[in-house]
């Protein structure tokens, strides 16, 4: 059992891109950071790089594959075996696919990884979080949530990976909002917030062909900002004393792709409480976990 007095944060997908910079920011803020990553080798390389970047960093690695719900369960068990509390959970990891893929249970892989795995992880660990306003759960959404919908009758979105990605990131935002409403209704002080990183070449585009990647980057290159800048909304949500539960943050520059952190704009569908409630119920069914507060 870890007996460090430090505050403890989990950052999923901490080995590269925005997750790496988020882990660095949390370490700089004095948190002991648990790097939740799929690859031991990549996580260890990132840990060494983080220590070089932040010499005072206190880090741990626990392997996690969010698309495999049994793996999520094992991660939660491993975390509980090492730690007695969790102060901040940053649900950062995400995949972007341009092909139809499913997890072992036949669920569209982006929906399973980006949303359902984080839904389950949060449900399994939230009881370890101190009930105070400094305890935070941060959901990483995306500009891609705009114009998306939850295809309840076909979560594979007909095999269209781009549409499925938008669906998964809308689900992240709907979950963050609904979680905060339920925390408030239960009288809890823990804050659930959502953010989007704007535009960055964060490693999400690795499933694209070289030609697809080059074409997309040529279209948006002038709007992209660094992964360090893209991590700022999540760090603001996790660390600022001024945020409110249910807030949604992102860059405030042109097209919200870069710029100073501020309140971000949402698609109108995020205000549909029926959709949010249905998503919660479906998420419980698909993960096999009742999420009660």
Write phi, then psi, for 195 (nearest 5 degrees): -145, 165
Q: Strand, coil or helix: what is 275?
A: helix
Where are the alpha helices (H) located in the chain, listed in sequence order? 17-28, 40-53, 69-82, 109-110, 117-125, 161-185, 210-220, 227-230, 232-239, 273-287
CB atoms under 10 Å from CB of 191, counted, come to 24
Catalytically active residues are 165
Tell me how many degrees the CA angle 251-276-172 measures, rounded to the nearest 5: 40
Burial of 218 (0-12, 13-18, 19+ CB in 10 A): exposed
Helix (H, G, I), strand (E, B) or coil at 55: coil
* Residue 278 neighbours by CB distance under 10 Å: 14
How many other CB atoms sit within 10 Å of the CB of residue 45?
A: 13
Whose CA is closest to 46, among 66, 6, 17?
17
């Amino acid at each position: 059992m870890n007996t460090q007095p430090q505050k403890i944060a989990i950052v999923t997908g901490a080995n590269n891109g925005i997750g790496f910079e988020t882990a660095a920011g949390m370490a700089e803020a004095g948190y002991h950071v648990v790097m939740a990553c799929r690859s031991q080798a990549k996580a260890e390389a990132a840990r060494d790089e983080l220590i070089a970047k932040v010499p005072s960093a206190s880090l741990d690695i626990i392997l996690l594959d969010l698309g495999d719900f049994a793996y999520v369960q094992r991660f939660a068990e491993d975390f509980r075996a090492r730690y007695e509390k969790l102060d901040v959970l940053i649900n950062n990891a995400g995949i972007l696919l341009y092909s139809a893929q499913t997890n072992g249970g036949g669920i569209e892989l982006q929906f399973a990884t980006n949303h359902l795995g984080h839904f389950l992880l949060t449900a399994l660990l939230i009881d370890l979080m101190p009930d105070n306003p400094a305890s935070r759960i941060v959901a990483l959404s995306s500009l891609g949530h705009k114009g998306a919908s939850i295809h309840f009758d076909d979560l594979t979105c007909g095999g269209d990976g781009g549409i499925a990605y938008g669906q998964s990131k809308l689900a992240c935002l709907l979950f963050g909002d609904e979680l905060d409403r339920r925390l408030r209704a239960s009288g809890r002080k823990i804050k659930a917030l959502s953010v989007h990183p704007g535009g960055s070449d964060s490693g999400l585009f690795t499933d694209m062909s070289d030609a697809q990647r080059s074409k997309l980057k040529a279209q948006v290159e002038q709007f992209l900002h660094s992964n360090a800048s893209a991590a700022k909304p999540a760090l603001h949500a996790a660390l600022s004393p001024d945020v409110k539960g249910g807030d949604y943050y992102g860059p405030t520059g042109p097209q919200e792709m870069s710029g100073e952190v501020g309140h971000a704009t949402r698609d109108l569908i995020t205000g549909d409480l029926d959709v949010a409630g249905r998503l919660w119920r479906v998420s419980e069914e698909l993960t096999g976990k009742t999420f009660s507060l």
